[in-house]
């Protein structure tokens, strides 16, 4: 079966391969260096379990000017205090957006959201803001359907690591990166070897193997991407690779773990989607994480279009974009081939019964 796994199909390599074709809110209190955003007042819902995390939504985003936007929704709380570096930096209502400024420089700024009822939640910006890997980001910070949260700082997903700068590598070393799973094929690995910090354990989990066809039209490109989505689930090489990643992620000794391919979109995208689904994250959130590649790689993809002729750019576009239907193809293959996601984990990946439980125990909080 023909497949397209993004494998040599990064922005630069696709252009080469196709060159022959024609080459202060209500309820918010602003603390020092903080501005409040919008807030909405709602009926307070008492928390049934004082140990439960009351947040249903929460995000942190570092802005270009160095400030941070922190947003949350905690219907089980009356008020929330935000801490950074063990000091309060913002205070708001149950639903709030605040901007925190003038924090000391840090490799990664963490925020602790402390509700007046229920357990706190610790978050950071999902992106690690690496110069040489714009799609390097945390897999955590998502809520599960049973109210728990995927821990941040444990699992990461990324694009090509061959362009990491010395500053990027030093940052990853300080942040505790320990394990690197490379999902690419041998040709990709040979042409663009990973530049991870010394001491990081490097492992290969080749998803697609060799042999990736070149699309000849936009329609052909879409078709190949959809076939690739099915192949992520169906191909023996893919099943073996993802099983290895799952087993590694379930072992706390590997935490501080990264998995990546070339664009961090398709092979990496299914690894992330499958892990988040196994942890209990809902499908809509899983899809948003998959589509976020379009934001993180926007500049790189636009540069590929700019280098190509209009005809080649039209063929490139379906291959370089993350589209919901590509991820849907993988989930459809799971349903048709195995009947359920749990059966995919057991039969398709051959995981032991305790592996999903170990994943949840090690990667969830709350």
Q: What amino acid positions are annotated as catalytic residues?
A: 261
Do residues 263 and 149 lie in contact, with contact meaning Cβ atoms separated by under 8 Å? no
Task: Specify the residue for token string 């023996």.
Answer: 236
Question: In the numeric block, which tokens belong to residue 32?
Answer: 């020092």
Do residues 62 and 126 lie in contact, with contact meaning Cβ atoms separated by under 8 Å? no
Do residues 118 and 148 lie in contact, with contact meaning Cβ atoms separated by under 8 Å? no
The DSSP bridge partners found for residue 34 are 100
Helix locations, the chain, DSSP H: 11-17, 166-175, 186-191, 218-234, 236-249, 267-279, 283-291, 293-296, 298-307, 310-320, 324-338, 341-343, 354-363
Do residues 73 and 56 lie in contact, with contact meaning Cβ atoms separated by under 8 Å? yes
Cβ-based neighbour number of residue 332 at 10 Å = 15
Specify the DSSP class assigned to residue 46.
-
Three-class SS of 182-196: ECCCHHHHHHCCCCC
- Alpha-carbon radius of gyration of the chain: 21
How far is Cα 57 from Cα 227, in angstroms, rounded to an integer?
34
Beta strands in 94-216 (DSSP E): 95-100, 110-115, 121-124, 137-138, 149-150, 155-158, 179-182, 201-204
Task: Specify the residue for token string 């919901």.
Answer: 324
Cβ-based neighbour number of residue 295 at 10 Å = 11
């Amino acid at each position: 079966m023909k497949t397209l796994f993004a494998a040599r199909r990064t922005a630069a390599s696709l252009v080469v391969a196709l060159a022959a074709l024609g080459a202060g809110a209500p309820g918010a209190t602003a603390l020092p260096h903080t501005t409040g955003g919008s807030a909405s007042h709602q009926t307070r819902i008492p928390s049934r379990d004082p140990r439960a995390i009351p947040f249903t939504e929460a995000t942190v985003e570092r802005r270009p000017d160095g400030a941070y936007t922190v947003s949350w929704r905690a219907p089980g709380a009356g008020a929330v205090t935000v801490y950074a570096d063990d000091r309060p930096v913002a205070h708001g209502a149950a639903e709030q957006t605040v901007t925190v400024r003038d924090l000391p420089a840090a490799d990664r700024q963490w925020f602790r959201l402390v509700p007046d009822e229920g357990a706190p939640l610790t978050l950071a910006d999902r992106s690690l803001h690496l110069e040489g890997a714009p799609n390097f980001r945390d897999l955590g910070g998502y809520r599960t359907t049973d109210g728990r949260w995927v821990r941040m700082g444990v699992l990461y997903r990324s694009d090509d690591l061959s362009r990491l700068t010395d500053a990027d590598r030093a940052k990853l070393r300080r942040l505790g990166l320990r394990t690197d799973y490379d999902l690419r094929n041998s040709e990709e690995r040979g042409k663009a070897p990973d530049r991870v910090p010394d001491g990081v354990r490097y492992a290969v989990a080749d998803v697609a193997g060799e042999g990736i066809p070149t699309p000849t039209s936009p329609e052909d490109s879409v078709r190949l991407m959809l076939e690739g989505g099915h192949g992520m689930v169906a191909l023996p090489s893919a099943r073996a690779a993802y099983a290895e990643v799952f087993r590694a992620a379930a072992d706390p000794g590997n935490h501080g773990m990264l998995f990546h391919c070339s664009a961090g979109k398709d092979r990496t995208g299914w690894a992330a989607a499958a892990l988040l689904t196994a942890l209990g994250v809902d499908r809509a959130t899983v899809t948003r994480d998959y589509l976020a590649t379009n934001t993180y790689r926007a500049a790189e993809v636009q540069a590929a279009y700019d280098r190509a002729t209009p005809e080649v750019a039209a063929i490139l576009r379906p291959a370089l974009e993350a589209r919901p239907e590509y991820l849907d193809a993988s989930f459809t293959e799971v349903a048709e081939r195995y009947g359920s996601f749990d059966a995919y984990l057991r039969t398709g990946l051959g995981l032991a019964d305790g592996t999903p439980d170990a994943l949840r125990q090690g990667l969830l909080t709350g």
